[in-house]
Chain A
Amino acid sequence: MRNILIIWQKELRSYFASPIAYLLLTMFALIFGFFFWNSLGYFVLMGMESQMRGQMMPMNLNEIVIRPLLSNVGVIGLFFIPMITMRLFAEEKRSGTIELLATSPIRDVEIIIGKWLAALSLYACMLLVAAVNFAFLFKYGKPDWKPLAIGYLGLLLQAGALLAIGTFISTLTKNQIIAGAATFGVCLLLWVLEWVSGYETATWAQVLAYMSIITHFESFAKGVLDSKDAIFYVTVIFLGLFFTARSMESLRWRT
Protein backbone atom coordinates (compact mmCIF):
# COMPACT_ATOMS: atom_id res chain seq x y z
CA MET A 1 0.00 0.00 0.00
CA ARG A 2 2.82 2.35 0.94
CA ASN A 3 4.58 1.55 -2.31
CA ILE A 4 1.45 2.26 -4.36
CA LEU A 5 1.29 5.64 -2.68
CA ILE A 6 4.94 6.39 -3.47
CA ILE A 7 4.42 5.62 -7.15
CA TRP A 8 1.11 7.51 -7.23
CA GLN A 9 2.76 10.55 -5.73
CA LYS A 10 5.67 10.43 -8.15
CA GLU A 11 3.41 10.09 -11.19
CA LEU A 12 1.09 12.89 -10.15
CA ARG A 13 4.14 15.05 -9.48
CA SER A 14 5.38 14.25 -13.01
CA TYR A 15 2.04 15.27 -14.51
CA PHE A 16 2.04 18.57 -12.66
CA ALA A 17 5.77 19.27 -12.92
CA SER A 18 5.49 19.22 -16.70
CA PRO A 19 2.97 21.19 -18.72
CA ILE A 20 0.97 18.02 -19.45
CA ALA A 21 -1.52 18.36 -16.59
CA TYR A 22 -2.04 22.10 -17.02
CA LEU A 23 -2.45 21.78 -20.78
CA LEU A 24 -4.97 18.95 -20.46
CA LEU A 25 -6.93 20.75 -17.74
CA THR A 26 -7.00 24.01 -19.67
CA MET A 27 -8.10 22.37 -22.89
CA PHE A 28 -10.73 20.40 -21.05
CA ALA A 29 -12.00 23.49 -19.25
CA LEU A 30 -12.31 25.33 -22.56
CA ILE A 31 -14.02 22.51 -24.43
CA PHE A 32 -16.34 21.55 -21.64
CA GLY A 33 -17.13 25.19 -20.96
CA PHE A 34 -18.20 25.55 -24.57
CA PHE A 35 -20.43 22.48 -24.33
CA PHE A 36 -21.95 23.78 -21.12
CA TRP A 37 -22.61 27.21 -22.54
CA ASN A 38 -24.32 25.74 -25.60
CA SER A 39 -26.41 23.41 -23.57
CA LEU A 40 -27.50 26.23 -21.28
CA GLY A 41 -28.29 28.48 -24.22
CA TYR A 42 -30.53 25.77 -25.64
CA PHE A 43 -32.21 25.33 -22.27
CA VAL A 44 -32.93 29.05 -21.94
CA LEU A 45 -34.33 29.19 -25.47
CA MET A 46 -36.65 26.30 -24.76
CA GLY A 47 -37.79 28.00 -21.59
CA MET A 48 -38.61 31.21 -23.44
CA GLU A 49 -40.47 29.39 -26.21
CA SER A 50 -42.65 27.49 -23.80
CA GLN A 51 -43.42 30.72 -21.97
CA MET A 52 -44.41 32.47 -25.19
CA ARG A 53 -46.76 29.64 -26.04
CA GLY A 54 -48.24 30.20 -22.62
CA GLN A 55 -47.71 26.62 -21.57
CA MET A 56 -46.09 26.03 -18.23
CA MET A 57 -44.39 22.74 -19.04
CA PRO A 58 -42.14 21.72 -16.17
CA MET A 59 -38.56 21.79 -17.41
CA ASN A 60 -36.04 19.53 -15.81
CA LEU A 61 -32.41 20.64 -15.53
CA ASN A 62 -31.27 17.08 -14.92
CA GLU A 63 -33.00 15.75 -18.03
CA ILE A 64 -32.19 18.55 -20.43
CA VAL A 65 -28.80 19.84 -19.29
CA ILE A 66 -26.99 17.42 -17.00
CA ARG A 67 -27.70 14.12 -18.70
CA PRO A 68 -26.42 15.01 -22.18
CA LEU A 69 -23.53 16.96 -20.67
CA LEU A 70 -22.37 13.92 -18.72
CA SER A 71 -22.31 11.91 -21.94
CA ASN A 72 -20.37 14.76 -23.53
CA VAL A 73 -17.78 14.64 -20.77
CA GLY A 74 -17.30 10.98 -21.64
CA VAL A 75 -16.72 11.84 -25.30
CA ILE A 76 -14.27 14.62 -24.51
CA GLY A 77 -12.50 12.30 -22.11
CA LEU A 78 -12.07 9.83 -24.94
CA PHE A 79 -9.70 12.29 -26.61
CA PHE A 80 -7.84 13.08 -23.43
CA ILE A 81 -7.35 9.57 -22.07
CA PRO A 82 -4.65 8.52 -24.57
CA MET A 83 -2.75 11.68 -23.72
CA ILE A 84 -2.87 10.80 -20.05
CA THR A 85 -1.78 7.18 -20.34
CA MET A 86 0.63 7.17 -23.25
CA ARG A 87 3.63 8.20 -21.19
CA LEU A 88 3.04 5.94 -18.19
CA PHE A 89 5.31 3.09 -19.23
CA ALA A 90 6.58 4.11 -22.66
CA GLU A 91 8.54 6.99 -21.18
CA GLU A 92 10.10 4.86 -18.45
CA LYS A 93 11.09 2.29 -21.03
CA ARG A 94 12.64 4.84 -23.32
CA SER A 95 14.63 6.67 -20.63
CA GLY A 96 15.68 3.48 -18.84
CA THR A 97 14.09 4.47 -15.55
CA ILE A 98 12.04 1.30 -15.74
CA GLU A 99 15.26 -0.41 -14.62
CA LEU A 100 15.16 1.57 -11.40
CA LEU A 101 11.57 0.58 -10.70
CA ALA A 102 12.12 -3.04 -11.67
CA THR A 103 15.17 -3.42 -9.44
CA SER A 104 13.57 -1.78 -6.42
CA PRO A 105 11.96 -3.89 -3.71
CA ILE A 106 8.46 -3.22 -4.97
CA ARG A 107 6.02 -5.47 -6.77
CA ASP A 108 4.97 -4.96 -10.38
CA VAL A 109 1.34 -4.79 -9.26
CA GLU A 110 2.15 -1.88 -6.97
CA ILE A 111 3.84 0.00 -9.79
CA ILE A 112 0.88 -0.61 -12.11
CA ILE A 113 -1.83 0.33 -9.64
CA GLY A 114 0.11 3.40 -8.55
CA LYS A 115 0.43 4.61 -12.12
CA TRP A 116 -3.18 3.84 -13.01
CA LEU A 117 -4.43 5.62 -9.89
CA ALA A 118 -2.33 8.66 -10.80
CA ALA A 119 -3.88 8.70 -14.28
CA LEU A 120 -7.34 8.34 -12.75
CA SER A 121 -6.57 11.18 -10.34
CA LEU A 122 -5.68 13.48 -13.20
CA TYR A 123 -8.95 12.55 -14.89
CA ALA A 124 -10.74 13.28 -11.61
CA CYS A 125 -9.17 16.73 -11.68
CA MET A 126 -10.76 17.25 -15.09
CA LEU A 127 -14.10 16.19 -13.64
CA LEU A 128 -13.60 18.78 -10.90
CA VAL A 129 -13.16 21.43 -13.56
CA ALA A 130 -16.45 20.30 -15.05
CA ALA A 131 -18.00 20.47 -11.58
CA VAL A 132 -17.28 24.20 -11.45
CA ASN A 133 -19.72 24.57 -14.35
CA PHE A 134 -22.31 22.35 -12.73
CA ALA A 135 -22.02 24.45 -9.57
CA PHE A 136 -23.68 27.32 -11.44
CA LEU A 137 -26.73 25.15 -12.00
CA PHE A 138 -27.03 24.71 -8.26
CA LYS A 139 -26.62 28.42 -7.70
CA TYR A 140 -29.41 29.47 -10.09
CA GLY A 141 -31.56 26.37 -10.25
CA LYS A 142 -32.54 23.37 -8.24
CA PRO A 143 -31.28 20.26 -9.99
CA ASP A 144 -31.26 16.96 -8.14
CA TRP A 145 -27.69 16.25 -6.98
CA LYS A 146 -28.07 12.46 -6.74
CA PRO A 147 -28.23 11.66 -10.47
CA LEU A 148 -25.27 13.96 -10.96
CA ALA A 149 -23.25 12.12 -8.32
CA ILE A 150 -24.09 8.78 -9.90
CA GLY A 151 -23.19 10.20 -13.31
CA TYR A 152 -19.83 11.24 -11.91
CA LEU A 153 -19.29 7.78 -10.49
CA GLY A 154 -20.10 6.35 -13.92
CA LEU A 155 -17.65 8.72 -15.58
CA LEU A 156 -14.91 7.68 -13.20
CA LEU A 157 -15.60 4.01 -13.80
CA GLN A 158 -15.74 4.49 -17.55
CA ALA A 159 -12.50 6.46 -17.56
CA GLY A 160 -10.93 3.91 -15.23
CA ALA A 161 -11.67 1.19 -17.78
CA LEU A 162 -10.24 3.17 -20.70
CA LEU A 163 -7.24 4.25 -18.64
CA ALA A 164 -6.53 0.63 -17.74
CA ILE A 165 -6.53 -0.23 -21.44
CA GLY A 166 -4.26 2.74 -22.13
CA THR A 167 -1.90 1.68 -19.36
CA PHE A 168 -1.65 -1.75 -20.90
CA ILE A 169 -0.93 -0.37 -24.37
CA SER A 170 1.74 1.90 -22.92
CA THR A 171 3.71 -1.13 -21.73
CA LEU A 172 3.88 -2.48 -25.27
CA THR A 173 6.11 0.18 -26.77
CA LYS A 174 8.90 2.62 -26.07
CA ASN A 175 7.28 5.20 -28.28
CA GLN A 176 4.74 7.49 -26.65
CA ILE A 177 3.17 8.50 -29.94
CA ILE A 178 2.53 4.88 -30.85
CA ALA A 179 1.10 4.20 -27.41
CA GLY A 180 -1.15 7.26 -27.67
CA ALA A 181 -2.38 6.54 -31.19
CA ALA A 182 -3.06 2.89 -30.45
CA THR A 183 -4.92 3.76 -27.27
CA PHE A 184 -7.01 6.32 -29.10
CA GLY A 185 -7.85 3.78 -31.80
CA VAL A 186 -8.89 1.11 -29.34
CA CYS A 187 -10.92 3.53 -27.23
CA LEU A 188 -12.71 4.93 -30.26
CA LEU A 189 -13.50 1.46 -31.51
CA LEU A 190 -14.87 0.45 -28.12
CA TRP A 191 -16.96 3.58 -28.28
CA VAL A 192 -18.57 3.02 -31.67
CA LEU A 193 -19.10 -0.72 -31.36
CA GLU A 194 -22.53 0.15 -30.05
CA TRP A 195 -23.63 1.38 -33.51
CA VAL A 196 -24.13 -2.14 -34.84
CA SER A 197 -27.17 -2.51 -32.61
CA GLY A 198 -28.82 0.17 -34.74
CA TYR A 199 -29.33 -2.06 -37.78
CA GLU A 200 -28.60 -5.61 -36.67
CA THR A 201 -30.19 -7.72 -33.99
CA ALA A 202 -28.26 -10.97 -34.38
CA THR A 203 -26.41 -12.39 -31.42
CA TRP A 204 -23.00 -11.21 -32.64
CA ALA A 205 -24.27 -7.68 -32.92
CA GLN A 206 -25.66 -7.86 -29.41
CA VAL A 207 -22.31 -9.10 -28.12
CA LEU A 208 -20.47 -6.32 -29.93
CA ALA A 209 -22.85 -3.70 -28.64
CA TYR A 210 -22.49 -5.10 -25.15
CA MET A 211 -18.74 -4.74 -25.38
CA SER A 212 -19.10 -1.09 -26.23
CA ILE A 213 -17.97 1.19 -23.45
CA ILE A 214 -20.87 3.57 -24.10
CA THR A 215 -23.71 1.05 -23.74
CA HIS A 216 -22.98 0.80 -20.06
CA PHE A 217 -22.92 4.49 -19.42
CA GLU A 218 -26.56 5.14 -20.31
CA SER A 219 -27.84 4.02 -16.95
CA PHE A 220 -25.28 6.16 -15.10
CA ALA A 221 -26.19 9.21 -17.22
CA LYS A 222 -29.82 8.72 -16.22
CA GLY A 223 -28.74 8.66 -12.60
CA VAL A 224 -29.44 4.99 -12.15
CA LEU A 225 -26.82 2.90 -10.42
CA ASP A 226 -27.04 -0.43 -12.25
CA SER A 227 -24.73 -3.03 -10.75
CA LYS A 228 -24.58 -4.81 -14.14
CA ASP A 229 -22.92 -1.81 -15.74
CA ALA A 230 -20.70 -1.07 -12.76
CA ILE A 231 -19.48 -4.65 -12.85
CA PHE A 232 -18.75 -4.35 -16.56
CA TYR A 233 -16.45 -1.38 -15.98
CA VAL A 234 -14.78 -2.96 -12.98
CA THR A 235 -14.16 -6.08 -15.03
CA VAL A 236 -12.54 -4.09 -17.84
CA ILE A 237 -10.39 -2.25 -15.30
CA PHE A 238 -9.33 -5.52 -13.76
CA LEU A 239 -8.57 -7.11 -17.14
CA GLY A 240 -6.64 -4.09 -18.35
CA LEU A 241 -4.45 -4.03 -15.26
CA PHE A 242 -4.06 -7.79 -15.36
CA PHE A 243 -2.79 -7.64 -18.94
CA THR A 244 -0.49 -4.80 -17.93
CA ALA A 245 1.02 -7.03 -15.27
CA ARG A 246 1.46 -9.88 -17.73
CA SER A 247 3.00 -7.51 -20.25
CA MET A 248 5.47 -6.19 -17.68
CA GLU A 249 6.41 -9.71 -16.81
CA SER A 250 6.96 -10.66 -20.43
CA LEU A 251 9.03 -7.51 -20.85
CA ARG A 252 11.59 -9.11 -18.58
CA TRP A 253 11.68 -12.30 -20.55
CA ARG A 254 11.94 -10.54 -23.87
CA THR A 255 14.39 -7.70 -23.36
Chain B
Amino acid sequence: MITVKELTKRYARNTAVDHISFQVEKGQIVGFLGPNGAGKTTTMRMLTCFLPPTSGSATVAGYDVLEQPLEVKKRIGYLPETPPLYPEMETGEYLTFVGKLKGLSGAELRKRVDYVCDRCAIADVRNKLLGKLSKGYRQRVGLAQAIVHNPDVLILDEPTSGLDPKQINETRDLIKSLGGDHTIILSTHILPEVEQTCEQVIIINKGKLAATDSVQNLQNRARGAGSVLVEVSGRNGSLDLAAVQRRLEQVAGVAHVVAKHSRQNRSSFEVESGKGFVRGDLARAVVESGWDLNELRPSAMSLEEIFLQLTGAEATVREEEVAVRGAQ
Protein backbone atom coordinates (compact mmCIF):
# COMPACT_ATOMS: atom_id res chain seq x y z
CA MET B 1 0.00 0.00 0.00
CA ILE B 2 2.84 2.34 0.88
CA THR B 3 6.26 2.06 -0.67
CA VAL B 4 9.04 4.36 0.37
CA LYS B 5 12.36 4.28 -1.42
CA GLU B 6 15.47 6.16 -0.37
CA LEU B 7 13.32 9.02 0.85
CA THR B 8 15.41 12.02 1.87
CA LYS B 9 14.57 15.46 3.16
CA ARG B 10 17.36 17.97 3.48
CA TYR B 11 17.11 21.45 4.89
CA ALA B 12 19.69 24.15 4.53
CA ARG B 13 21.68 23.00 7.54
CA ASN B 14 20.58 19.52 8.42
CA THR B 15 19.16 16.34 6.98
CA ALA B 16 15.87 15.56 8.64
CA VAL B 17 15.26 12.28 6.86
CA ASP B 18 18.12 10.34 5.38
CA HIS B 19 17.54 7.66 2.73
CA ILE B 20 14.68 5.85 4.39
CA SER B 21 13.11 2.85 2.68
CA PHE B 22 10.23 0.71 3.89
CA GLN B 23 7.04 -0.90 2.80
CA VAL B 24 3.64 -1.22 4.37
CA GLU B 25 1.15 -3.86 3.29
CA LYS B 26 -2.57 -3.29 2.97
CA GLY B 27 -4.53 -3.43 6.21
CA GLN B 28 -1.49 -3.30 8.47
CA ILE B 29 -1.04 -1.08 11.48
CA VAL B 30 2.50 0.16 11.57
CA GLY B 31 4.13 1.95 14.44
CA PHE B 32 6.54 4.66 13.52
CA LEU B 33 8.89 4.92 16.43
CA GLY B 34 11.67 7.29 17.28
CA PRO B 35 12.83 9.83 19.81
CA ASN B 36 11.73 13.43 19.43
CA GLY B 37 13.27 15.06 16.39
CA ALA B 38 14.02 11.74 14.69
CA GLY B 39 12.21 12.74 11.51
CA LYS B 40 8.88 11.02 12.10
CA THR B 41 6.75 14.06 11.39
CA THR B 42 8.83 15.03 8.38
CA THR B 43 8.44 11.56 6.88
CA MET B 44 4.70 11.63 7.47
CA ARG B 45 4.44 15.06 5.93
CA MET B 46 6.20 13.79 2.85
CA LEU B 47 3.80 10.84 2.63
CA THR B 48 0.82 13.20 2.83
CA CYS B 49 2.24 15.48 0.11
CA PHE B 50 2.56 18.36 2.56
CA LEU B 51 6.32 18.47 2.06
CA PRO B 52 8.07 17.45 -1.13
CA PRO B 53 11.02 15.08 -0.66
CA THR B 54 14.51 16.30 -1.58
CA SER B 55 15.21 12.98 -3.23
CA GLY B 56 13.89 9.47 -3.33
CA SER B 57 10.32 8.46 -3.93
CA ALA B 58 7.21 7.46 -2.06
CA THR B 59 4.08 5.90 -3.49
CA VAL B 60 0.78 5.61 -1.70
CA ALA B 61 -1.84 3.24 -3.12
CA GLY B 62 0.19 3.12 -6.31
CA TYR B 63 0.42 6.89 -6.82
CA ASP B 64 3.62 8.86 -6.54
CA VAL B 65 3.50 11.70 -4.01
CA LEU B 66 5.33 14.08 -6.33
CA GLU B 67 3.68 13.21 -9.61
CA GLN B 68 0.07 12.61 -8.64
CA PRO B 69 -0.41 14.40 -5.32
CA LEU B 70 -4.14 14.88 -5.83
CA GLU B 71 -4.71 11.15 -6.25
CA VAL B 72 -2.60 10.44 -3.17
CA LYS B 73 -4.45 13.06 -1.11
CA LYS B 74 -7.80 11.53 -2.04
CA ARG B 75 -6.71 8.24 -0.52
CA ILE B 76 -5.06 9.54 2.63
CA GLY B 77 -6.47 10.59 5.95
CA TYR B 78 -4.05 12.63 8.02
CA LEU B 79 -4.09 13.64 11.65
CA PRO B 80 -1.23 16.08 12.31
CA GLU B 81 0.33 16.42 15.72
CA THR B 82 -2.06 19.21 16.64
CA PRO B 83 -5.51 18.42 15.23
CA PRO B 84 -6.24 20.99 12.49
CA LEU B 85 -9.42 22.44 13.95
CA TYR B 86 -11.09 25.79 13.34
CA PRO B 87 -12.10 27.08 16.77
CA GLU B 88 -15.04 29.08 15.42
CA MET B 89 -16.70 26.05 13.82
CA GLU B 90 -19.04 23.52 15.36
CA THR B 91 -18.02 19.88 15.31
CA GLY B 92 -20.66 18.72 12.83
CA GLU B 93 -20.13 21.71 10.62
CA TYR B 94 -16.38 21.15 10.63
CA LEU B 95 -16.68 17.49 9.67
CA THR B 96 -19.06 18.44 6.87
CA PHE B 97 -16.54 21.00 5.63
CA VAL B 98 -13.70 18.48 5.68
CA GLY B 99 -15.92 15.88 3.97
CA LYS B 100 -16.66 18.36 1.19
CA LEU B 101 -12.98 19.20 0.88
CA LYS B 102 -12.24 15.51 0.43
CA GLY B 103 -14.82 15.25 -2.33
CA LEU B 104 -17.93 13.91 -0.58
CA SER B 105 -21.35 15.41 -1.19
CA GLY B 106 -25.07 14.98 -0.66
CA ALA B 107 -26.48 11.95 1.15
CA GLU B 108 -23.12 10.20 1.26
CA LEU B 109 -21.54 13.16 3.04
CA ARG B 110 -24.29 13.18 5.67
CA LYS B 111 -24.01 9.45 6.13
CA ARG B 112 -20.24 9.56 6.61
CA VAL B 113 -20.42 12.46 9.06
CA ASP B 114 -23.01 10.58 11.13
CA TYR B 115 -20.89 7.47 10.95
CA VAL B 116 -17.63 9.06 12.11
CA CYS B 117 -19.41 10.96 14.89
CA ASP B 118 -20.70 7.66 16.10
CA ARG B 119 -17.44 5.80 15.62
CA CYS B 120 -15.26 8.36 17.36
CA ALA B 121 -17.81 8.93 20.13
CA ILE B 122 -18.19 12.64 19.48
CA ALA B 123 -21.91 12.69 18.72
CA ASP B 124 -22.59 14.44 22.02
CA VAL B 125 -20.42 17.44 21.08
CA ARG B 126 -21.76 17.75 17.55
CA ASN B 127 -23.19 21.19 18.12
CA LYS B 128 -20.37 22.51 20.25
CA LEU B 129 -17.75 24.97 19.11
CA LEU B 130 -14.42 23.26 18.45
CA GLY B 131 -12.62 25.96 20.40
CA LYS B 132 -14.50 24.91 23.53
CA LEU B 133 -13.73 21.20 23.37
CA SER B 134 -11.42 19.41 25.78
CA LYS B 135 -8.14 17.95 24.58
CA GLY B 136 -9.54 14.42 24.38
CA TYR B 137 -12.48 15.50 22.26
CA ARG B 138 -10.27 17.56 20.01
CA GLN B 139 -8.07 14.58 19.36
CA ARG B 140 -11.11 12.46 18.56
CA VAL B 141 -12.55 15.09 16.25
CA GLY B 142 -9.12 15.14 14.60
CA LEU B 143 -9.33 11.40 14.12
CA ALA B 144 -12.90 11.67 12.82
CA GLN B 145 -11.70 14.30 10.36
CA ALA B 146 -9.03 11.90 9.12
CA ILE B 147 -11.43 9.04 8.41
CA VAL B 148 -14.45 10.99 7.20
CA HIS B 149 -13.81 10.16 3.53
CA ASN B 150 -13.03 6.50 4.27
CA PRO B 151 -9.42 6.69 3.05
CA ASP B 152 -7.31 3.65 2.23
CA VAL B 153 -4.41 4.97 4.25
CA LEU B 154 -4.47 6.67 7.61
CA ILE B 155 -1.49 8.63 8.84
CA LEU B 156 -1.64 9.61 12.47
CA ASP B 157 1.01 11.76 14.08
CA GLU B 158 1.12 10.96 17.80
CA PRO B 159 -2.61 10.30 18.09
CA THR B 160 -2.50 9.75 21.84
CA SER B 161 -0.27 12.61 22.92
CA GLY B 162 -1.70 14.72 25.69
CA LEU B 163 -4.58 12.38 26.55
CA ASP B 164 -5.33 10.91 29.95
CA PRO B 165 -4.84 7.13 30.42
CA LYS B 166 -8.49 6.31 29.87
CA GLN B 167 -8.62 8.35 26.70
CA ILE B 168 -5.39 6.78 25.53
CA ASN B 169 -6.92 3.33 25.87
CA GLU B 170 -10.07 4.40 24.05
CA THR B 171 -8.08 5.95 21.24
CA ARG B 172 -5.91 2.85 20.95
CA ASP B 173 -8.96 0.62 20.75
CA LEU B 174 -10.44 2.89 18.14
CA ILE B 175 -7.26 2.76 16.08
CA LYS B 176 -7.05 -0.99 16.43
CA SER B 177 -10.63 -1.35 15.27
CA LEU B 178 -9.86 0.82 12.25
CA GLY B 179 -7.07 -1.51 11.17
CA GLY B 180 -8.07 -4.05 8.58
CA ASP B 181 -10.22 -1.61 6.62
CA HIS B 182 -7.48 0.96 6.59
CA THR B 183 -3.75 0.81 6.36
CA ILE B 184 -2.49 2.80 9.30
CA ILE B 185 0.81 4.43 10.12
CA LEU B 186 0.99 5.98 13.52
CA SER B 187 3.93 7.71 15.03
CA THR B 188 4.68 7.66 18.70
CA HIS B 189 7.43 7.64 21.22
CA ILE B 190 5.41 5.60 23.68
CA LEU B 191 6.58 2.01 23.41
CA PRO B 192 3.73 0.08 25.03
CA GLU B 193 1.49 1.72 22.50
CA VAL B 194 3.37 0.02 19.70
CA GLU B 195 3.44 -3.30 21.50
CA GLN B 196 -0.30 -3.10 21.99
CA THR B 197 -1.60 -1.65 18.76
CA CYS B 198 0.83 -2.35 15.99
CA GLU B 199 1.82 -5.36 14.00
CA GLN B 200 4.91 -3.82 12.54
CA VAL B 201 7.44 -1.32 13.78
CA ILE B 202 9.62 1.09 11.92
CA ILE B 203 12.22 2.62 14.16
CA ILE B 204 14.03 5.71 13.01
CA ASN B 205 16.67 7.71 14.72
CA LYS B 206 18.34 10.94 13.62
CA GLY B 207 16.66 10.64 10.25
CA LYS B 208 18.01 7.17 9.58
CA LEU B 209 16.17 3.89 9.55
CA ALA B 210 17.25 1.90 12.61
CA ALA B 211 15.02 -1.14 12.21
CA THR B 212 11.90 -2.28 10.47
CA ASP B 213 10.28 -5.53 11.49
CA SER B 214 7.22 -7.05 13.08
CA VAL B 215 6.88 -6.50 16.82
CA GLN B 216 7.12 -10.27 17.30
CA ASN B 217 10.29 -10.56 15.27
CA LEU B 218 11.96 -7.69 17.01
CA GLN B 219 11.38 -9.27 20.37
CA ASN B 220 12.55 -12.62 19.05
CA ARG B 221 15.59 -11.05 17.55
CA ALA B 222 16.64 -9.72 20.87
CA ARG B 223 15.98 -13.11 22.41
CA GLY B 224 17.73 -14.94 19.59
CA ALA B 225 21.00 -13.40 20.59
CA GLY B 226 21.05 -16.28 23.06
CA SER B 227 21.22 -14.30 26.22
CA VAL B 228 20.29 -16.27 29.32
CA LEU B 229 19.76 -14.99 32.82
CA VAL B 230 20.97 -17.28 35.62
CA GLU B 231 20.39 -16.66 39.29
CA VAL B 232 22.50 -18.71 41.63
CA SER B 233 22.63 -18.89 45.43
CA GLY B 234 25.02 -20.66 47.75
CA ARG B 235 23.79 -23.49 49.97
CA ASN B 236 25.65 -22.54 53.11
CA GLY B 237 25.17 -18.85 53.04
CA SER B 238 28.32 -17.84 51.22
CA LEU B 239 28.86 -17.68 47.50
CA ASP B 240 32.13 -17.12 45.71
CA LEU B 241 31.16 -14.87 42.86
CA ALA B 242 34.36 -15.34 40.93
CA ALA B 243 34.10 -19.13 41.21
CA VAL B 244 30.56 -19.14 39.83
CA GLN B 245 31.57 -16.91 36.99
CA ARG B 246 34.56 -19.15 36.19
CA ARG B 247 32.40 -22.26 36.27
CA LEU B 248 29.76 -20.73 33.99
CA GLU B 249 32.38 -19.63 31.55
CA GLN B 250 33.65 -23.18 31.31
CA VAL B 251 30.29 -24.48 30.02
CA ALA B 252 30.57 -25.42 26.35
CA GLY B 253 29.14 -22.81 24.03
CA VAL B 254 29.21 -19.90 26.46
CA ALA B 255 30.84 -16.83 25.02
CA HIS B 256 30.55 -14.26 27.71
CA VAL B 257 29.38 -14.03 31.32
CA VAL B 258 28.44 -10.78 32.99
CA ALA B 259 27.65 -10.52 36.66
CA LYS B 260 24.53 -8.43 37.02
CA HIS B 261 23.12 -8.12 40.49
CA SER B 262 24.23 -9.56 43.71
CA ARG B 263 22.60 -9.35 47.09
CA GLN B 264 23.32 -11.42 50.17
CA ASN B 265 24.10 -14.91 48.97
CA ARG B 266 22.28 -14.64 45.68
CA SER B 267 23.62 -13.31 42.46
CA SER B 268 22.50 -13.25 38.88
CA PHE B 269 24.56 -13.48 35.74
CA GLU B 270 23.83 -12.77 32.18
CA VAL B 271 25.25 -15.50 30.00
CA GLU B 272 25.71 -14.94 26.31
CA SER B 273 26.12 -18.02 24.22
CA GLY B 274 27.64 -17.97 20.80
CA LYS B 275 25.55 -20.80 19.40
CA GLY B 276 23.16 -23.54 20.34
CA PHE B 277 21.12 -24.27 23.39
CA VAL B 278 23.12 -23.95 26.60
CA ARG B 279 20.45 -23.75 29.27
CA GLY B 280 20.61 -27.48 30.11
CA ASP B 281 24.36 -27.47 30.46
CA LEU B 282 24.26 -24.33 32.58
CA ALA B 283 21.74 -25.87 34.98
CA ARG B 284 23.79 -29.01 35.35
CA ALA B 285 26.99 -27.07 35.91
CA VAL B 286 25.44 -24.99 38.68
CA VAL B 287 23.81 -27.89 40.46
CA GLU B 288 26.85 -30.16 40.18
CA SER B 289 29.02 -27.48 41.72
CA GLY B 290 26.83 -27.57 44.79
CA TRP B 291 25.01 -24.26 44.31
CA ASP B 292 21.30 -23.66 44.06
CA LEU B 293 19.79 -22.64 40.77
CA ASN B 294 17.08 -20.10 41.58
CA GLU B 295 16.21 -18.90 38.14
CA LEU B 296 17.09 -19.68 34.58
CA ARG B 297 15.38 -17.84 31.76
CA PRO B 298 16.05 -16.35 28.38
CA SER B 299 16.52 -12.66 28.92
CA ALA B 300 14.14 -11.25 26.34
CA MET B 301 14.62 -7.57 25.89
CA SER B 302 11.54 -5.45 26.10
CA LEU B 303 10.86 -3.22 23.15
CA GLU B 304 12.11 -0.47 25.35
CA GLU B 305 15.58 -1.94 25.52
CA ILE B 306 15.64 -2.73 21.83
CA PHE B 307 14.58 0.79 21.15
CA LEU B 308 17.27 2.27 23.36
CA GLN B 309 19.84 0.00 21.83
CA LEU B 310 18.85 0.82 18.29
CA THR B 311 18.63 4.53 18.85
CA GLY B 312 22.10 4.72 20.28
CA ALA B 313 21.16 5.09 23.91
CA GLU B 314 22.89 1.79 24.75
CA ALA B 315 25.89 3.74 25.92
CA THR B 316 24.07 4.59 29.12
CA VAL B 317 23.04 0.95 29.63
CA ARG B 318 26.67 -0.14 29.33
CA GLU B 319 27.69 2.45 31.85
CA GLU B 320 25.23 1.02 34.32
CA GLU B 321 26.70 -2.44 33.85
CA VAL B 322 30.18 -1.14 34.45
CA ALA B 323 28.96 0.52 37.60
CA VAL B 324 27.46 -2.75 38.81
CA ARG B 325 30.63 -4.63 38.08
CA GLY B 326 32.71 -1.98 39.76
CA ALA B 327 30.59 -2.24 42.90
CA GLN B 328 31.41 -5.89 43.16
Contact = CB atoms under 8 A, between A and B. Distances in A.
Given A107-B70, A253-B52, A101 B78 contact: no
A99 B70 contact: no
B76 A100 contact: no
Interface stretch (A10-18, A115-123, A203-211): A10-18
B74 interface: yes
A252 B45 CA distance: 10
A6 interface: yes
Contacts of B76: 103
B98 A255 contact: no
B49 interface: yes
Contacts of A18: 88
B278 interface: no
Interface stretch (B100-108, B217-225, B240-248, B259-267): B100-108
Contacts of B102: 104-105
Interface in A224-255: 252-253, 255
B252 to A, nearest CB: 59
A103 B49 contact: yes
Interface stretch (B79-87, B183-191, B305-313): B79-87
A17 B45 CA distance: 31
Q: Which of B70, B76, B82, B88 has the most CB of A within 10 A?
A: B88
A252 B85 contact: no
B51 A255 contact: yes
Interface string B101-139: 111000000000000000000000000000000000000
Contact of A96 (B73, B80, B97, B100): B80
Nearest to A96: B82
Nearest to B80: A99
B8 interface: no
A253 B100 CA distance: 27
B52 A252 contact: yes
A14 B98 CA distance: 15
B49 to A, nearest CB: 6
A99 B103 contact: no
Contact of B50 (A10, A95, A252): A252
Interface in B31-89: 45, 48-52, 70-71, 73-74, 76, 78, 80-82, 84-89
A96 B84 contact: yes
- For chain A, give the interface size range: 20 to 34
Interface in B151-208: none
B73 A105 contact: yes
B245 to A, nearest CB: 56
A95 B51 contact: no
A3 interface: yes
Nearest to B85: A97
Interface residues of B, number: 28
A14 B90 CA distance: 11
A106 interface: yes
A179 B71 CA distance: 33
B28 interface: no
A226 to B, nearest CB: 40
Interface string A1-34: 0010010001001100110000000000000000
Contact of A6 (B48, B78, B84, B101): B101
A14 B88 contact: yes
Contacts of B101: 3, 6, 100-101, 104-106
Contacts of A252: 50-52
Contacts of A101: 101
B273 interface: no
Given A97-B86, A105-B103, A252-B50, A10 B97 contact: yes
18 contacts: A6-B100, A13-B89, A14-B89, A95-B84, A96-B82, A97-B84, A98-B84, A99-B45, A99-B80, A99-B84, A100-B101, A100-B145, A103-B73, A103-B76, A104-B73, A105-B74, A252-B50, A253-B52
Given A102-B49, A105-B73, 16 more contacts: A3-B101, A95-B87, A96-B84, A99-B84, A100-B78, A100-B80, A100-B84, A100-B98, A100-B145, A101-B101, A103-B48, A103-B76, A104-B98, A104-B102, A105-B103, A253-B51
